[in-house]
Amino acid sequence: MSQSSLFNSGKKETVTIGQYGPEDGIDRTEYQDYKPGDLEEGITFAGKIFLGSIYAFDKEKYGKGEKGKEYKADLAIFNDENQETLRTVIKAKDMTDKLIAWEKSAAYDIIDSLEELNQPGSGLGFHTNPKDKKLNKYSMSFKELQDYINSLGIVTVTIFDRSFKGNIYQTIRITGIGAGN
């Protein structure tokens, strides 16, 4: 932090919004970044997984010109060998510890895939008929999810296509845990 040259009480600093990655001494700022939408369905990506803290930011709501607060946490998988990062976001309702992950969200796919890896058949799965008006959800402590994810180390994720209201989007599911999984 340095003193402002214009204002007596001013201080200049660069603040990182959210957590970029684990504090393990590796500089990953120059890694090639990817989002799930940059990759094709079926592609796998392996690396060290990290879920940052929830942070707030101002965003225009629904293209109406109105500003509102949104909340998210960055989830990243760092492939240090190839110097690549796969990033997605976990959206939250607010800054509290309560996380509600609805089907068709990144948080849902992460949690559901972890449930499946822990005990095959225990995940909630997906509703494929949009007319049935049903969606699954997980409710849990964000901190518990964050601690668990950050304890995993190396994971493999697979890109999956999903459809919602006629739009195709890409998401990730954890398909392996541990080096050489």
pLDDT tens column, 79-127:
999 999 999 999 998 998 999 888 888 998 999 899 888 888 777 666 5
Q: How confident is the model at residue 148 (pLDDT cuts 50, 70, 90)?
A: very high
Structure tokens at 111: 């949690």
Compare 108 and 3 and report the one with higher pLDDT: 108
Q: What is the mean pLDDT of the chain?
A: 82
Average pLDDT over residues 63-89: 89
The C-alpha atoms of residue 145 and residue 101 are separated, in whole angstroms, by: 11
pTM (predicted TM-score): 0.80
Average pLDDT over residues 122-138: 66
Among 36-40, 51-55, 84-88, 164-168, the range scoring the smallest mean pLDDT is 164-168
- In contact, 146 and 74? CB cutoff 8 Å: no
The C-alpha atoms of residue 161 and residue 48 are separated, in whole angstroms, by: 23
Q: How confident is the model at residue 28 (pLDDT cuts 50, 70, 90)?
A: confident
Q: What does DSSP say about strands 2-3 and 84-92: parallel, antiparallel, or unpaired?
A: unpaired
Query: What pLDDT, on the 0 to 100 scale, is given for residue 66?
Result: 74
Average pLDDT over residues 49-64: 82
- In contact, 55 and 73? CB cutoff 8 Å: yes
Query: What pLDDT, on the 0 to 100 scale, is given for residue 18?
Result: 45
Residue 172 belongs to what H/E stretch? strand 167-177
The residue type of 47 is G
